[in-house]
Amino acid sequence: MADIKSFVKFFKNPLSVIGALIISALVMAAIFAPVLATHPPNEIVMADKLAQPSPAHYFGTDEMGRDIYSRIVYGSRISLQVGMQVVGIAISIGVFTGAVSGYYGGWIDEIIMRITDMFLAFPSMILAMAIAAALGPSLSNAVIASSITWWPWYTRMVRSQILALREAEFVEAARASGNTMFGVIIKYILPNCLSPLIVQATMDVGFAIQLTAGLSFIGLGAQPPTADWGSMLSTGRKYMLTHWWYVTFPGLFIFLVVLGFNLLGDGLRDHLDPKLKNTA
């Protein structure tokens, strides 16, 4: 999957390219935030409150006179961090439980699958809300809450991959040649689950950003004065009729980033999914 030909092929799809561009821009913004920002993100200047976009404030200012552009630039760090953390945690738990469940089967599988059933049945937004409220509102708790609602999907995915692969010849061969079960999982089975995992994870980063923005919307996410897109959008919506820029820019950026991850994931899926490979 890493050969140059397929790399080129991937970038022939304009949508994937757009997705990749958006995500690279996000990463760049996060890395170079202090350089890109024109103002300190939390600097309150009441005299400049709710100013229109202008050369002094590219995206205008908020109700505390803070520069929205700078807050968005710094907010990219939060969004990226949140997205990666949620998916990272969810994958770690999911891959472990999924691998164990799929490989051992039997009652272990039964227990793990019932637990995932429970979590899947739980309305994710309400679960996240309850957990975030129980842990106390903060960004890291929002991340934990979101991850908790997310991991079962990975468990299921890895499990089904493993079930499919367990009987495959190369796995049997590896087992026969004296590898431990865990060694087999790590060396032979997981690499084969990688494609669907990558696709899913890419898209999920976007959705994780959306979910935590939703939590911020209810006040359970990042705490003030942190520049966070979700909270900005949430406060900004009250100003939608009178100060359009306040809600528009955070909304636009959440939208672009989630779209970016989706486009990228979609492109990767087309690219990595063996079932679709041969269709012209």
Nearer to other proteins, 43 or 175 (CB): 43
- Residue from 75, 94, 196, 206 touching other proteins (CB under 8 A): that is 206
Draw the binding track, 251-270, toward other proteins (x: CB under 8 A; -: no contact): xx-xxx-xx--xx--x----
106 binds other proteins (CB under 8 A): no
Please give the full DSSP string across the chain, using - where no structure is assigned. Answer: --SHHHHHHHTTSHHHHHHHHHHHHHHHHHHTHHHH-SS-TT---GGGTTPPS-SSSTT-B-TTS-BHHHHHHHHHHHHHHHHHHHHHHHHHHHHHHHHHHHHH-HHHHHHHHHHHHHHHHS-HHHHHHHHHHHH-S-HHHHHHHHHHHHHHHHHHHHHHHHHHHHTSHHHHHHHHTT--HHHHIIIIIHHHHHHHHHHHHHHHHHHHHHHHHHHHHTT-SSPTT---HHHHHHHHGGGTTT-HHHHHHHHHHHHHHHHHHHHHHHHHHHHH-HHHHT--
Nearer to other proteins, 174 or 259 (CB): 259
- Residue from 25, 36, 130, 163 touching other proteins (CB under 8 A): that is 130
**Residues in 74-103 that interact with other proteins by CB under 8 A:** none
- Residue from 93, 166, 192, 225 touching other proteins (CB under 8 A): that is 225
Residue 13 to residues 19, 39, 177, 279: CA-CA distances in angstroms? 10, 38, 42, 15
Q: How far is the CB of 241 from other proteins (least distance, A)?
A: 5
Nearer to other proteins, 64 or 93 (CB): 64
Nearer to other proteins, 85 or 226 (CB): 226
124 binds other proteins (CB under 8 A): yes
Draw the binding track, 137-176, toward other proteins (x: CB under 8 A; -: no contact): x---------------------------------------
40 binds other proteins (CB under 8 A): no
- Residue from 202, 245, 268, 272 touching other proteins (CB under 8 A): that is 245
238 binds other proteins (CB under 8 A): yes
Can you tell me which residue has the tokens 């100060």? 243
Q: How far is the CB of 60 from other proteins (least distance, A)?
A: 11
Nearer to other proteins, 179 or 248 (CB): 248
Q: How many CA atoms lie within 13 A of 219 on its CB side?
A: 1
- Residue from 28, 126, 164, 186 touching other proteins (CB under 8 A): that is 126
Can you tell me which residue has the tokens 């939390």? 42
Q: How far is the CB of 211 from other proteins (least distance, A)?
A: 10
